[in-house]
Amino acid sequence: MACVADLRLAGIGMTSARTRDRLVQRLRDQGITNLQVLDRIRNVPRHIFVDEALGSRAYEDTALPIGFGQTISQPYIVARMTEALLEGGAVDNVLEVGTGCGYQTSVLAPLVAHVNTIERIEPLLSRAKERLKELGIRNVRFRHGDGTLGWKAHAPFDGILVAAAPLTVPEALLKQLRVGGRLIVPVGPEGEQQLVRFTRREQRMEREVLGPVAFVPLLGGIA
């Protein structure tokens, strides 16, 4: 059984190491420079986070459906958001809003001390837990809940990463950011979204636009 599991994680054909290397080179060409992030993109088996029928497309730089009207983000966006979160100082305690299939979580988790991740769709959260357990990632705390409210019990956070787009940033997330902490979030209506990095200072909130993106909308409540 161990051999079968190892083969599944390693991938074959279109999910092989050579295919992953080509993806990493493409991300380098697009401006990703953090070597730890590139290493995670290379080593995380993205094909286990998508349906088997889509496995041959897992290392294309594109978003793919994961059910429930949600998608697995394209590798460039995962790399860009992770890189933007890590820039500017140590990040120990992170909140991730929108676990989805767990791919972003698995890229980020080994690069920080703790990840607290919230997903509103329970079947997606259960699947993500299974995948991260399979990969031996153990520094993640999962919650089925409304990510727009943050996770006050584990605040303040050094970093918050939001994997869906609100029209305006939820106040709860800004309040749960520590001084010096960074919030990476896509903001705006469909077709007009920008990836934004907010950095909390003592008396103000810095806002930096990182570029155009396309995400599913951030919804409240649970499903």
Q: Which residues are catalytic?
A: 73
Q: What is the rounded CA–CA span in Å between residue 207 and residue 199?
A: 7
CA angle 222, 155, 221 (to 5 degrees): 10
Rounded to 10 degrees, the C-alpha dihedral 51/53/58/62 comes to -90
Please report, as a single letter, which amino acid is at residue 116. N
Residues 6+ apart with CB under 8 A from 214: 63, 190, 191, 193
Query: In this structure, what token pair is assigned to residue 100?
Result: 């989805």
Please report, as a single letter, which amino acid is at residue 141. R
Instruction: For residue 68, give the DSSP letter.
Output: T
Residue 121's nearest CA partner among 17, 221, 6 is: 221
Q: Is 103 in contact with 44 (CB distance < 8 Å)?
A: yes
Residues 6+ apart with CB under 8 A from 176: 95, 150, 151, 152, 155, 156, 157, 160
